[in-house]
Structure 1
Amino acid sequence: MNEPLFLKAVLQEKIWGGTKLHDVFNYDLPSDRVGECWSISAHPNGPSTVLNGPYEGMTLAEVWKEHRDVFGNVKGDVFPLLTKILDANDDLSVQVHPNDTYGLEHEGELGKTECWYVIDADEGAEIVYGHHAKTKEELESMIKEGKWTELLRRIKVKKGDFFFVPSGTIHAIGAGIMILETQQSSDTTYRVYDYNRKDDTGNPRELHIQQSVDVTTVPHVDAETGITTTQLENVEITTYVKTDFFNVYQWSITGNAVFEASAPYTLVTVLEGEGTLLVESGEYPLTKGTNFILPNDIKNWTIKGSLQIIASTPGTEM
């Protein structure tokens, strides 16, 4: 297949969601509490649908299962990556994700390592990233005693920041932050703390204390990213992280920028600007909020215009 797969995103309502996914990206929201846009997803809880070409109308999961050549005939039962845009109108729950071994054993799906690019953030907005417990026993004790101020490590963030969040990292996105998240294709989340909020039926939201203690890395260690920037003709490429799970890049394009494939396929989301994608099969308009995959048959492509793009590829173990 020598044309890109443009994808229809899936919008997820959340107790902490808002309207920025419409205000910023012009997505058509079902309510004023939409927290997540699953931009590129083959997960059963929100699979993207192909909008063009021979696979139009199929889900990404179906294309992965039935037409693996599109992805270079790579192995794997499930499409490994999931790209989201999150609008935190309110604080997200404090949570942690398992690694693959624990996730497969206890939940029947992959664990979740993820990373965040901060699209925008209100002045003074914060994330939870890590904790101050020195041992598992101290972690469990502080959780049970509700010592959240002493336990949780908070960091102020601004537009353009990037964070790598391996499985086992206690974390939460704070109110007033919009991020693009690249993650393993998993929906397993263990809630550690949720500010005593209630769900739509008036019941306290479920917590997963024992699982959280089981999977949290103690003591917390900041994940290394090794961010690098390369200037090529009409494009600045920032490499945010390269891991076994995914590689994540930003393409800052001004003019005509030529790319060569470095992986079996590439996931692309346009965050800012507009322009045109040129491949052998034709030209395709790009606007803010466009999501697509460059399949294995496309080895070279050109993007012209003024655009900010986040791209990702499968990691080194794929």
Structure 2
Amino acid sequence: MYAEPIFLQPVFKDRIWGGTKLRETFGYQIPSETTGECWGISAHTNGPSTILNGPLKGLTLDEAWQKHRGLFAGQEGDDFPLLVKILDAKTDLSVQVHPDDEYAQRVEHEAFGKTECWYIIDCEEESELVYGHHAKSKDEFQAMVDNGQWDKLLRKIKIQPGDFVYVPNGTIHAIGAGTMILETQQSSDVTYRVYDYDRKDDQGNTRDLHIKQSIEVAMIPHEDAHFQPVENKQGDLTVKKLIKESYFTVYHWALNGTAQALENPMYLLVSVLDGEGEIETQNGTSSFKKGDHFIVPSTVKKFSLKGNASFITSHSS
């Protein structure tokens, strides 16, 4: 029986808004000075992670999903459902929106729409996100876009490190400059840009906007999602359930010592935000450190942790 954590090699993405903090903060070997995204746990065709250890070493996560479904609780579906990223926004991301499953499948032939959530790893003082808008109808939304009334249209919220933001499909949103987040999302790469600050790429071209699609999929009027984090202790591990919704359940874990006989809910996605330590399963002990991404497969029913570290963990709901 396969009973050890599955460590993954991230995939990095150059972005017009990216920088170098993925290297400075996590020690990653990034491909450029404008690296915006680390796809830490991904089976998406646009950037699948590669397994680094064990009998499946060298396979992509998608290949493991297709060939070894028993590691993932036998979950059904052609596509691995979740994608975990770390984003470094040196400058503002475009204002954007994502579709639901039905629209993504019908229009984009993508397996999933995109509901996501963000844990704020770091941000500058007085940082803001675009989250929602002030239009009361699609006609009012279109009129504000046509007239370039972005300050009137877009709703902004203040953030600080440690904040958690839930972004259901249909939510108008944008990550602001100087912000680093860990994003847990459905495994989708469909994004519709509403506004991109009229900036140009290195070829002098503006990026495409998708106003028609954005208005079709956007939540109008905007409504905030409501959720209540719940915290408990398991040994020296503080577990905060940040959200449980229809696509994923996401936690923040803070380890300061030892936590034994932790139950694995199905298969657990783990990203190490800080610190280091060891995970022990029935097959032995593996070390982890800041910046590591791994999966505890469903064949590991219980495991123990030792060290001082913080994590974002998640699983399908």
> The TM-score by the shorter chain falls in which range?
over 0.9
Which residue in 2 is equivalent to 1:268? 270
2:87 aligned with 1:102, yes or no?
no
Which residue in 2 is equivalent to 1:217? 219
User: Post-superposition, which runs of at least 4 consecutive aligned residues in structure 1 deviate over 4 A?
Assistant: none
Q: Is the 8 A contact 1:230 1:237 kept in 2?
A: yes
Q: Is the 8 A contact 1:135 1:219 kept in 2?
A: yes
Deviations 1:112-170 (A, max 9, x none): 00000000010111100000001111111111111100000011110000000000000
CA distance in 2, matches of 1:305, 1:17: 32
What are the equivalent positions in structure 2 for 1:49-198 lying under 5 Å apart? 49-109=50-110, 110-198=112-200
Deviation at 1:262, TM superposition (A): 4.6
Residue 132 of structure 2 aligns with an amino acid whose one-letter code is G
CA distance in 2, matches of 1:123, 1:117: 16
Query: SS at the partner of 1:253?
Result: strand
CA distance in 2, matches of 1:53, 1:262: 19
Residue 85 of structure 2 aligns with an amino acid whose one-letter code is K
Query: SS at the partner of 2:26?
Result: coil
CA distance in 2, matches of 1:262, 1:146: 50
**What is the number of residues matched between the two proteins?**
315
Q: Is the 8 A contact 2:278 2:288 kept in 1?
A: yes
Which residue in 2 is equivalent to 1:232? 234
Which residue in 2 is equivalent to 1:6? 7
**Unaligned 5+ residue runs, structure 2?**
none
TM-score (norm: length of structure 2): 0.98
Which residue in 1 is equivalent to 2:203? 201
CA distance in 1, matches of 2:150, 2:268: 40
Deviation at 1:66, TM superposition (A): 1.0
Residue 33 of structure 1 aligns with an amino acid whose one-letter code is T
TM-score (norm: length of structure 1): 0.98
Which residue in 2 is equivalent to 1:289? 291
CA distance in 1, matches of 2:263, 2:316: 12
CA distance in 2, matches of 1:235, 1:4: 19
What fraction of aligned residue pairs are identical, expressed as a percent? 53
Query: SS at the partner of 2:208?
Result: coil
2:308 aligned with 1:306, yes or no?
yes
Query: SS at the partner of 1:154?
Result: strand
CA distance in 1, matches of 2:87, 2:256: 26
Deviations 1:246-279 (A, max 9, x none): 0000110111112533532000000011111111
Residue 90 of structure 1 aligns with an amino acid whose one-letter code is T
Deviation at 1:224, TM superposition (A): 1.2
CA distance in 2, matches of 1:262, 1:58: 23
Residue 54 of structure 1 aligns with an amino acid whose one-letter code is P
Q: Is the 8 A contact 2:264 2:302 kept in 1?
A: no
Q: Is the 8 A contact 1:89 1:176 kept in 2?
A: yes
Deviation at 1:233, TM superposition (A): 1.5
Residue 151 of structure 1 aligns with an amino acid whose one-letter code is L
Q: Is the 8 A contact 1:263 1:314 kept in 2?
A: no
Query: SS at the partner of 1:124?
Result: coil
